[in-house]
Amino acid sequence: MIYRYLDASRWQGTIDWDAVKRSGKVDGAILKTVSTNKSFGGVYIDPQFERNYSECVRLGIPVGAYYYTYAQNEAARAVELVKVKQALQGKTFQLPVAVDVEDNKLKPIPAKELSALVAGAAKQIEAWGLYAMVYTYTSYANTELDMDALKAFDLWIADYRGKRPTRKHGIWQYTSEGTIPGITGNVDLNHAYKNYPAIIQRAGLSVIR
């Protein structure tokens, strides 16, 4: 069975989640939590995250989360994770929490070193008692990461060429130009190939311990 997820951040503006729900086109939402931007004072919580999360809970839409990493060393990773934990604390997640590694600023880091940073972040999410996964896109996985070092975690992979990637993955982000009622403009759409809510419920990985 294929499950249909959207992922959303401040770039989608104020989403009409009632319309999203009524559309019947979405089985879950993965929400951006944390990123880094000087205009927001450095590492920040996405300004739409709290509202998006609350609306999904209100409407019974299964929810997960992701954060966009810029961390080039363990110290920077620790700063990001403090903010991620702050965003996630006290919330319940039916879908995974992902480390999003794709930024060009990270490309100068050797693949093994960058993958170790990402794996460490995912392990910390697991240590909190949540279901961790890693997000990237195909060419980044092929050239910038040591995917063997990340094989302990489910992969959420972006590839917009119209054909499901051959690399093993749990979620495929197949377009960045999707349209869903209730969302103005484009939105990322995904197919998931595992029943994550059932897996996470059985494993007791829905809240930070």
How far, in Å, CA of 12 to CA of 205, rounded?
Answer: 28
Looking at residue 151, what DSSP letter applies? Answer: T
pLDDT value, residue 110 = 98
Report how far residue 195's alpha carbon sits from residue 182's, in angstroms, rounded to the nearest whole number: 25
Output b/e per residue, 153-188; b: 16+ Cβ within 10 A. Answer: bbbbbbbeeeeebeeebbbbbbbeebebebbeeebb
Cα–Cα distance measured from residue 196 to residue 40, given in angstroms and rounded to the nearest whole number: 32
94-148 per-position pLDDT tens digit: 999 999 999 999 999 999 999 999 999 999 999 999 999 999 999 999 999 999 9
Mean pLDDT of the chain, nearest integer: 97
Please list the alpha-helical segments (H only) found in the chain: 17-23, 49-59, 74-88, 111-127, 138-143, 196-203
CA atoms of 142 and 69, how far apart (whole Å)? 18
Mean pLDDT of 51-73: 98
What band does 40 get if pLDDT is binned at 50, 70 and 90? confident
pLDDT score at 39: 79
Q: What single DSSP character describes residue 69?
A: -
From the list 77, 76, 62, the residue with the least C-alpha distance to 123 is: 77
* Out of 34-43, 81-90, 200-209, least confident range: 34-43
- Among 208, 206, 169, 177, which residue's Cα sits nearest to residue 86? 208
All structural domains of the chain, each given as residue ranges with its CATH number in brackets, are 3-203 (3.20.20.80)
